[in-house]
Amino acid sequence: MVSILNGKNGLLGETTSQPDFFRDLNLDQVIGAITRPKQEYNLQPFFWIPLRDAETVRYRQEVFQDLENQPVMEYIKEFAEGMSVTRRYLAMIEKLDFDYHKKGWFLEAALVYCDAVMTLARHLDGLPLSSRGLSAFREYLMHYVQLSAYRSLATEGQQVKNALTEVKYCVVIKNGKFKVKRYESEVDYSLELEKTFKKFKQSDAQDYLARLPERTGMSHIEAKILEFVARLYPEPFAALTRFCTEHHRFLDEVIQAFDREIQFYVAYLEFITDLKRQGLPFCYPKVSATSKAVYVRDGFDLALAHAWRYEKKAIVLNDFSLEGPERILVVTGPNQGGKTTFARMFGQLHYLASLGCPVPGREASLFLADHIFTHFERIEDIQSLRGKLEDDLIRIRDALMHATADSIFILNEIFSSTTVQDALFLSKKIMARLMDLDAVAVWVTFLDELASLSEKTVSMVALIDPDDPTRRTFKIVHKPADGLAYALSLARKHGLTCEQLQERIP
């Protein structure tokens, strides 16, 4: 059985830190939110290693698609719950003091484990699975539950449990003294009381039923009671002791690994479920490690969608595409018009695609880059000893040194601290290098000229609402850059355009 995360090589080595572009793309927020509800599995490292191999991406996409089938997801979750309980019980035993108490919990752990495994096997059996990953695991599971080790664990455990459940005894408590005896059909007194007083019921009475906390652990008094009970009913306790000795280590390693790794998928799907319910689209992108013809229809910034999940604000969906020789999206338009969000979306989509995940968009075809280089303005950088401009240039130079034709660049308002003349000059230079490199890029800028530098650039503009220029549309569309559009709309709103003034002034 290979890993559910990687059909070819088994699980890749785990890394201990997130990629350096995570913060710029707000992917740290996204992955944090995805993995937070599942901390016991330590899933973050799985989200820190992108794939470059289209085949493995598809292997994961298949597993995702199987899990989007509601029953499959429910079965996996039920199984995970059982495994989690098993682990919790086994960990707890270490802290207990009394022998029959420990053995009792060991039996519980074994029962929950057997049940979780068998239930999953029964559920997956005959279910239409199309992923290679889940099919292989099902095969393993079917084989496992036939093994005699598993079968004796399950049947003996159940027999011991049944015998213990049948034990019924009485405790009589009076003034610092107690007595334990067998149960002899004494009647339930509370029932009798409830029956007697029922007639006074006017409406639902307040609930006085004390919710005494379910305690685990055992005091010396309860241990004494248990000891007396074991003396009154010796056989079931002897059977329990035999069971514990014979099934000392019962957890299967392959099943344990699957239990953790499948949570990568579960966590991501759970995270996007709410967003889907709000009408936001997700899709499985076509991926390629060679073709740089990329496009997305109705894409959005996943971090923003998550941050706004409780708000009424609608998330604006945007499209982009690069065809033929096109490599660089140059984004211009008014401030606060959604340009940065657009740039982040571009990066997020490519990264999430490289994890094998469904991406935020209605339809997508994406490129598996070898690395994503981002350059966003950072507050703390301004404090550095080097000047801002110098710092920008050094960072870009370093990036270009490590980049290849298969890298993606996301540049957000670089050179904004210098003169237009300088900025234009530097930008053209960097642009030329990117073009030479043939890298894919998004470049957010206030310089209209960059949008039409060559056949490799595509001009994208943040739209404004002509009726109310102060309203933000967050819509980024493919059209020629036009820096004056915003100012003209404002003028029209206040009746100050040429035509308006002609009419207003007699």
Partner 1 sequence: MMKVFLLYPDRDFDPSAPLPPNAEDLTQDLFLNILLEAMAQGDRFLFQVTRQAMLSPLDEVASILYRQAILKDCLKHPDIVRRIYRIPLEFLERKRRQWLWVSPRHSPPTSVLASARELLEASLDLLRQLRLIADQNVNTFESQGFRRFFTMIQRELDDEYLTRIEQHIQQLRFPQGVLLSAQLGKGNEGSNYVLCYPNDADRNWLQLLFAPRSPSYSYTLHPRDEAGARVLGELRDRGLARAANAVAQAAEHIESFFHVLQRELAFYIGCLNLYEQLMALGEPIAFPQPLPATERQFSCTALYDVTLTLTLGTPVVGNDVSADGKSLIIITGPNRGGKTVFLRSVGLAQLMMQCGMFVPARSFRANLAMGLFTHFRREEDKTMARGKFEEELERMSKIVDCLTPNALLLLNESFAATNEREGSEIARQIVSTLLEKGMKICYVTHLYEFARSFSGNNVLFLRAERLPDGRRTFRLKEARPLETSYGVDLYHKIFGAEKQENMTQ
Residues that bind partner 1 (CB under 8 A): 100-101, 103-105, 108, 164-165, 167-190, 192-194, 196-197, 199-203, 205-210, 212, 215-216, 218-222, 224-226, 228-229, 231-232, 240
Could you give the C-alpha distances from 207 to 92, 198, 203, 204, 219, in angstroms and in order? Answer: 33, 14, 12, 8, 29
DSSP designation for 495: T
Looking at the Cβ atoms of 115 and 392, the one nearer to partner 1 is 115
Place of tokens 């968009």: 361
In this complex, which beta carbon is closest to partner 1, that of residue 226 or of residue 303?
A: 226
The 3-state secondary structure of 363-399, one letter per residue: EEEEECCCEEEEECCCHHHHHCCCCHHHHHHHHHHHH
Residue number with CB closer to partner 1 (142 or 171): 171
Q: Tokens for 420?
A: 């237009």
Left, alpha or beta for 280 (phi > 0: left; psi -120 to 50: alpha)? beta
- Taking the complex as a whole, how short is the minimal distance between the CB of residue 228 and partner 1, in angstroms? 4
> Which phi-psi region, left, alpha or beta, contains residue 126 (left: φ > 0; alpha: ψ -120 to 50)?
left
> Nearest CA to 343 among 430, 444, 428?
444
CB of 175 to partner 1, least distance (A): 8
For 213: left if phi > 0, alpha if psi spans -120 to 50, otherwise beta; the answer is: beta
- Residue 222 Cβ vs partner 1, minimum distance, rounded to whole Å: 6
Instruction: Pick the closer one to partner 1 by CB: 66 or 115.
Output: 115
- Encoded tokens for 368: 């598996």
> Minimum distance from CB of 255 to partner 1 (Å)?
23
Question: Which CB sits closer to partner 1, 51 or 111?
Answer: 111
The CB-of-95 to partner 1 minimum distance in angstroms stands at 12
The least CB distance from residue 386 to partner 1, in Å, is 59
42, 259 contact by CB (below 8 A)? no
Q: Which is nearer to partner 1, 197 or 425 (CB)?
A: 197
Q: Rounded to 5 degrees, what are φ and ψ at 337?
A: -95, 5
Q: Rounded to the nearest whole angstrom, what is the least distance from the CB of residue 215 to partner 1 in the complex?
A: 8
Q: How far is the CB of 162 from partner 1 (least distance, A)?
A: 11
Cβ-based nearer residue to partner 1, 136 or 164? 164
Rounded to an integer, what is the distance from CA 358 to the centroid of its chain? 11
**Nearer to partner 1 (CB atom), residue 212 or residue 379:** 212
